[in-house]
Structure 1
Amino acid sequence: MDATFSYNFPAIRGIQAGKEYFVAMCPLRIIPKIFLFDEDEIPPEHRSQRILNKARIPEMTNYIVDNINDYVFSSITASVDGELNFTPFNQAANSKDLGQLRIALDARFLINDGQHRRAAIEEALKLSPELGSETISVVFFHDDGLKKSQQIFSDLNRHAVNTTSSIGILYDHRDKLSIITKDIIAKIPLLTRYTDKERVSLSKNSPKILALNHIYNTNLKLLGKNKGENISIKDEEFVYDFWSLLCNSIIEWNSVLNKEINTRELRANYIVGHAVFVEALGVVGKYLREYHSDDWTNYIKKLSKIDWHRTNNSLWLGRAFNHNGRIQKTSQTIQLTAIQIKKLIGLPLTDTEKQNEDKFNKGVE
């Protein structure tokens, strides 16, 4: 193969299933040029990935551009249909798999894993052209006719397991609310001891009261924010004050802290041991901050007088739990639980809440 008419990459050769594959470092500027993505050109039977979800691209692009000195992308995996040659730098046993990978200019490349990364890189280069000299690792599989690309995609994703949202929050050191949420948990003894930082839902035998994502989602509702939005110092102070007072006001939580009941009994007997409760309080807390900024603490203290028993059908049936007694957390049940809490602590309902409550009452009748 004439090197003048080929792509040339320093590469490492590997063996899987008795077949060669290659890992090369590719400058970001050439990624959009060699890895074309045209859904109309490639028929479904030869596509190796699902259709590009364009809604994901702006977020990924912003991630690169906003963290230009601290972003991380995993490898792109691609099939190559065309002439491909690997020439070792030398034949020594310890370096015969290091060499030059040459791929014909007329070869077809099809991404098996990383199409959204490729699209985000293309957009990021438009905003920050200086990124072009940086590199991303690309794993090349030789695949005549692109016949194996779908199986490669399937195999790559066969054993993939997404991390839980709690772990995502735990490991996120960029998102301001993630940092604040973890700081609150560390500062409040009850949350420190009884927050599960890995799971998103707790089993009946879990030794914890809440999961990290429950607290984070509650904070989003408290502040009326979306993930990634700016958090002010006043926002941060309010969230911390809210959780400090809440942890002192829920008698059942303190009964667990004082070893008077255990977490299993809490979940089995009270709605305060479930996410629907705290996220509903996020809705109530947001209202209090907007309309009772001077005396909101008085309303939170009233929570200690409420009957949170799961046997209290008149208060919580159809809201926090269904007719089978099963706790249910949906956007609707969160809103209905928040409405009931507002009524119990003497807060008026908004027009939207009145409409939701009327629909609920008609359904009960």
Structure 2
Amino acid sequence: MGSSSSSQLADTATSAGFEYIFPAIRGVQAGREFYVSMCPLRLIPKIFLFDEDELAPEVRAQRVLNKGRLPALTRYIVDNPDDYVFSALTASVDGDLNFEGVADSGVGMRVGQLRIPMAARFLINDGQHRRAAIEQALKENPDLGEETIAVVFFHDAGLARCQQMFADLNRHAVRPPRSIGVLYDHRDDLAIVARLLAMKCPVFKGHVEMEASTLAQRSRKLFTLSSVYFATQSLLQGLEVKKDAAQQLAAEYWEAVDEVIPEWGMVRNRKLSAPEVRKDYIHSHGIALHALGRIGNTLLRQSNSPKTWQTKLKLLSSVDWARTNPDWEGRAMVGGRVSKSHQNLTLTVNYLRQHLKLGLSPEEQRVEDAYQRGDA
């Protein structure tokens, strides 16, 4: 093809006769050709398929669609039309792939147009949840249809190959630590509050691990950003406060907690090391912060003034946070190790409520009764 042919390439996929025509770049992996193109969102639901749910796993080429993930993905697109971002879809094409380069040699051999018969079957190897979310988003905002998403096309070499592609594409996928997700999230107001607490609140400043969600044994940090996030989320749950006020309220609460947990201040004053405190006490662990957030939420709801809840909070000074305290076994700890399970969190909250003489919710009472019976 010459230069006149290149001018005929469309910016997005079009159909001519009984073919789809995609502008594409040709590449080679493991000796097999593949093609990278841009596809309009409006075409995604029409041409890309995923296996039926009722098929047995051994004759499917990907996992069953988890419909519970779709609302959040759909809202992400619809609510952020100016700055959403989706990674490429990967699809196998059960049909002929005819690539025409814009030149017969050089770079032009790799750039051109990909012709695929409309009768071909497009099977998504990676990205079926993105595809389903795009379909739902288009129903709410059809204007998104002219936007594009990158698609990587492979030739369908049969079920076994498609299954292997799915396994390989997901083999090394690792979800980023929750802490770095909070660190980089500029849409979530609570993430912004958590970052500001970590950077400015005297309790946390300089003592929060901002990337990892677990602390190395010798880490000099006391807390993780993810634990500060979830604890503050529990603290502010259901309270109608604006972002700036939320940060101030959260800072006041955590500073009040700091006054009844002397070891935190001793780490800041270098009288104790962070590894020592984490090893000997549970109050800097995520489950304890989360429980303290839940307790704080109750105090803020029940108190008419800061003085009231701060006075009540001082009763926590009677809590023995040492790991050697046998009361923690079965509550915050299982077999001598700190547990983050929902049940253990509830039992830890219950223990703190008892010290503060606060009542239990019906669900908390049910968990407490099971624990007392030895069922937990």
Regarding TM over 0.5, the answer is yes
Of stretches 93-102 and 299-308 in structure 1, the one that deviates more from structure 2 is 299-308
Q: 1:311 aligns with which of 324, 330, 334?
A: 324
- Determine whether 1:327 maps to 2:331: no
1:47 aligns with 2:64: no
- Establish whether residue 232 from structure 1 lines up as the match of residue 246 from structure 2: no
Q: How many pairs does the alignment contain?
A: 358
Partner of 1:286: 297
Residues 11/269 of structure 1: CA separation in 2 closer, same or farther (3 Å cut):
same
Contact conserved, 1:82 with 1:144, CA < 8 A, in 2? no
Give the counterpart letter for 1:291 in structure 2.
Q
> In structure 2, do the counterparts of structure 1 residues 98 and 285 end up closer, same or farther at CA, with 3 Å as the change threshold?
same
Does residue 65 in structure 1 map to residue 78 in structure 2? yes
* Higher alpha-carbon deviation: 70-79 or 256-265: 256-265
The CA deviation at 1:3 is 5.0
1:286/1:28 Cα in 2 relative to 1: closer, same or farther (>3 Å)? same
Structure 1 residue 356, shift from structure 2 partner: 3.8
Question: Helix, strand or coil: the match of 2:152?
Answer: strand
Please tell me whether residue 216 in structure 1 is matched to residue 226 in structure 2.
no
* Matched letter for residue 103 of structure 2: N
Deviations 1:246-289 (A, max 9, x none): 23432011111111111121012112132221111112111101
**Displacement of 1:46:** 4.1
Report if aligned partners of 1:80, 1:146 keep a CA contact under 8 Å in 2: no
CA shift in 2, pair 1:101/1:194, >3 Å: same
The equivalent residue for 2:194 is 181
| One of 234, 249, 266 as aligned partner of 2:260 | 249
In the alignment, the residues of structure 2 paired with residue 86 and residue 42 of structure 1 have an alpha-carbon distance, to the nearest angstrom, of: 33
Does the CA contact (< 8 Å) of 1:3 and 1:102 recur in 2? no
Aligned to 1:298: 311
Deviation digits for residues 29-83 of structure 1 (CA, Å, limit 9, x no counterpart): 1111111335069664442210111111111111000000010000000001111
* AA matched with 2:113: Q
In structure 2, do the counterparts of structure 1 residues 263 and 93 end up closer, same or farther at CA, with 3 Å as the change threshold? same
Alpha carbons 1:10, 1:100 under 8 Å: kept: yes
Instruction: State the Cα distance separating 1:231 from its structure 2 match.
Output: 6.1
Q: Is the 8 A contact 1:80 1:109 kept in 2?
A: yes
Describe the shift of the 1:162–1:356 C-alpha distance in structure 2 as closer, same or farther (beyond 3 A). closer
Give the distance between the partners of 2:167 and 2:129, measured in 1 at CA: 17
What is the RMSD of the two structures over their aligned residues, measured on CA atoms? 2.3
Structure 1 Cα separation of the partners of residues 241 and 104 of structure 2:
58
Q: TM-score, normalised by structure 2?
A: 0.88
Selected match of 2:99 from 86, 109, 112: 86
Structure 1 residues 230 and 143 mapped into 2: Cα distance closer, same or farther (>3 Å)? farther
Code of the residue aligned with 2:26 in structure 1: it is R
Q: Is the 8 A contact 2:76 2:84 kept in 1?
A: yes
Whichever residue aligns with residue 257 of structure 1, its letter is R
> What TM-score does the superposition give when structure 1 sets the normalisation length?
0.91
Q: What percent identity do the matched residue pairs reach? A: 47
> Which deviates further from its counterpart, 352-361 or 27-36?
352-361
Q: Compute the displacement of 1:328 (Å).
A: 2.0
Contact 2:102 2:109 in 1 (8 A): yes
Residue pair 1:177, 1:231 contacting (<8 A) in 2 also: no
AA paired with 2:227? Answer: H
> 1:53 and 1:41, CA in 2 relative to 1: closer, same or farther beyond 3 A?
closer
Q: Deviations over 1:128-166 (max 9, x none)?
A: 111111100100001244541111111111111111111
The letter of the residue matching 1:319 is R
Q: Secondary structure at the match of 1:200?
A: coil
AA in 2 matched with 1:277 = A
Q: Which residue of 1 aligns with 2:162?
A: 149
For residues 172 and 138 of structure 1, what CA distance do their matches in structure 2 show? 26
State the alpha-carbon separation in 2 of the partners of residues 144 and 360 from structure 1. Answer: 56
Q: Which amino acid aligns with 1:11?
A: A
Q: Secondary structure in 2 aligned to 1:90?
A: coil
Measure, in 1, the Cα distance between the counterparts of 2:54 and 2:288: 51
Q: 1:133 aligns to what?
A: 146
Aligned to 2:280: 269
The AA in structure 1 aligned to 2:351 is: Q
Output the CA distance in 1 between the equivalents of 2:156 and 2:59.
12
